[in-house]
Amino acid sequence: MTVEDRVFNNVPERDILPIFVADYAYEPPALLSHEGTGFVLGKNVFVTCWHCLRTELQDQLRYTAAKEHNGQYTLYPLVDIQQDPRAMDLATARVSLESEIGLSIAEGSVASYGTDIWSFGYPLTTFQAHPERQTGKRFTLNGRYMQSYVMRTFYNDAPPFGQTASYELNMPALAGMSGAPIVQVNSREVIGVLYGRNDAETIEEFGSRDPDTGERLTPEVVRVTSFAAAHFIDTLKSLRGKATQGLPLFDFLSG
């Protein structure tokens, strides 16, 4: 890995940002809840999962991306929010931010088994009542850099979005990571978007039954292991919305 790659991998928070609900009736706006992760691409496009933005907000509440520095946040409201027209768990928005680290959509097709990837997001975010105001919370972000690989490609049943073409990744899907980009190692090329998990069961101890009555004598012990699930690159490339002027995301960014 080059020095440039190391520097790049140490500052993903420039373009990979937490999403909050903020109340703009206050100055500065009051942060109310943390909703997930999203990332900035060229032409002021912001990409995340639809389930992070799906609740319709009232009054002066707004979804907003945020950059944090020494505990202070600069907020960037998300506008023209729209779910992918295919009713998938992806969304686009416009944001008044320029891309700093240069994430781009990979030109290739579906990544193969063993493709090394990294991701960054904001799981394990904690909060406390704001010490200086009655409304809003003070959040502590716990940004996490994760490095993994593609285990397989499969169709995941992801209610309420149905069968979703997915990568299964050898890393946990922590709450708050939804909407994080999946990026090929040693590159800035996004190949997918983390949206959830896939659970796999392993029987650690088989149960027993009475051979005469069929009554269970000892329980079966099952361990559930969860792996992260992410949208395919092809799904991401064809994502569209108001922020892409109705064009597929890849075409919009390339034009």
Q: Which tops the pLDDT comparison, 90 or 100?
A: 90
Domain count, the chain: 1
Q: Taking residues 34-39, what's their average pLDDT?
A: 95
Instruction: Name every residue whose Cβ is closer than 8 Å to that of residue 43 and which is 6 or more positions away in sequence.
Output: 252, 253
For residue 140, pLDDT beyond 90: no
Confidence of residue 4 (pLDDT cuts 50, 70, 90): very low
Q: What is the pLDDT of residue 73?
A: 83
For residue 253, pLDDT beyond 90: yes
Question: What's the pTM?
Answer: 0.85
Confidence of residue 2 (pLDDT cuts 50, 70, 90): low
Q: Taking residues 207-235, what's their average pLDDT?
A: 74
Q: Tell me the per-residue pLDDT of 105-139, one tens digit each, with 9 for 90 and over.
A: 998 877 788 899 999 999 877 776 665 666 677 77
Strand boundaries in the chain, DSSP class E = 16-23, 30-41, 45-48, 61-69, 72-77, 79-83, 91-94, 104-105, 116-121, 126-129, 137-140, 144-157, 163-169, 181-184, 189-205, 208-209, 216-218, 221-231
d(CA 130, CA 171): 33
d(CA 233, CA 129): 40
237, containing H or E segment: helix 233-237
Please state, rounded to an integer, the average pLDDT across all residues of the chain: 86
Q: What is the pLDDT of residue 7?
A: 44
Q: Which domain holds residue 209?
A: 3-254
| Amino acid identity at 58 | Q
User: In CATH, what number is assigned to the domain containing residue 206?
Assistant: 2.40.10.120
Q: What is the pLDDT of residue 113?
A: 87
Q: What is the pLDDT of residue 201?
A: 57
